[in-house]
Structure 1
Amino acid sequence: MSLSQAQGKLGETLASQFLEKQGFSIVAKNFRWRRNEIDLIVKKERLLVFVEVKLRKNQAFGRPEDFMSPEQQERVLQAAEQYVLENDWPHDIRFDIIAITQQTGELLHLPDAFY
């Protein structure tokens, strides 16, 4: 496993733990459709949330949440549409970002971050 993959796994683990403490249940991790991937899919009652996890060592080059490009948002949306179709999800959905800065230990949950 590369350093980048290990950091990604760490970020997803921290985000999963945080969301579970908030009452969400983990539905899927690293959901892939074609070349698109969603880090986490979580659920709380009748709300399905597609979560992008952004982890950075520090904020020297910007905040973690600022590293979500419009192209990446579009790829997440496409994968989410496929997930909703495959699972016949009839209720609300949302797109969140969990931004983690390792140096400070800061974890920021941004509900409805895009779309």
Structure 2
Amino acid sequence: MAEHNALGRKGEEIAIKFLIDKGYQVLEKNYRYLKSEVDIIAKIKNVIVVVEVKTRSTPDFGNPQDFVKPKQIQSLVKAIDHYITEHDLDAEVRFDIVAIIRNKAGTKIEHLEDAFYHF
């Protein structure tokens, strides 16, 4: 597995533990719909939370959350629409980003709730 893929998978594991520790219930990991993949679908209270995990080894080229592009956002919206319909859910949906910088110096986690409103 390429080093960046391994870092990404480790980032998703870290994000899941982080969310569970904050009281979230993880419903799905790596949910796929057509060509889209949602890293994490979680629930807190009556809110379905779509979580995009961005992991980098350095912030030198920008913050991890800066790498979520409009086309990816559109793709995530389509995928979660399908998930909500498929599971016949009636809940508010929120889109979050968990940005992780992980390297020899340690791990820094930033959780941006309602992240797509910031774009």
With structure 2 as the length reference, what TM-score do the two structures score?
A: 0.92
Give 1:4 deviation, angstroms.
Answer: 2.6
- Structure 2, unmatched stretches of 5+, are none
User: Amino acid of the residue matched to residue 107 of structure 1?
Assistant: I
* 1:33 is aligned to 2:33: yes
Cα deviation code 1:50-96 (max 9, x no counterpart): 00000001011000000000011111111011101101110111000
User: Secondary structure at 2:4's aligned position in 1?
Assistant: helix
Give 1:48 deviation, angstroms.
Answer: 0.7
Partner residue in 2 for 1:9: 9
User: Amino acid of the residue matched to residue 34 of structure 2?
Assistant: R
Measure, in 1, the Cα distance between the counterparts of 2:35 and 2:3.
21
User: Amino acid of the residue matched to residue 60 of structure 1?
Assistant: D
Identical pairs, percent: 39
Partner residue in 2 for 1:92: 92
- Structure 1, unmatched stretches of 5+, are none
Measure, in 1, the Cα distance between the counterparts of 2:24 and 2:3.
28
Q: Aligned-pair RMSD on alpha carbons?
A: 1.0
Partner residue in 1 for 2:113: 111
Give 1:9 deviation, angstroms.
Answer: 1.0
Give 1:8 deviation, angstroms.
Answer: 1.5
Measure, in 2, the Cα distance between the counterparts of 1:48 and 1:71.
21
Give 1:7 deviation, angstroms.
Answer: 1.4
User: Secondary structure at 1:88's aligned position in 2?
Assistant: coil
Partner residue in 2 for 1:42: 42
Give 1:108 deviation, angstroms.
Answer: 0.1
User: Secondary structure at 2:13's aligned position in 1?
Assistant: helix
Query: How many pairs were matched up?
Result: 115
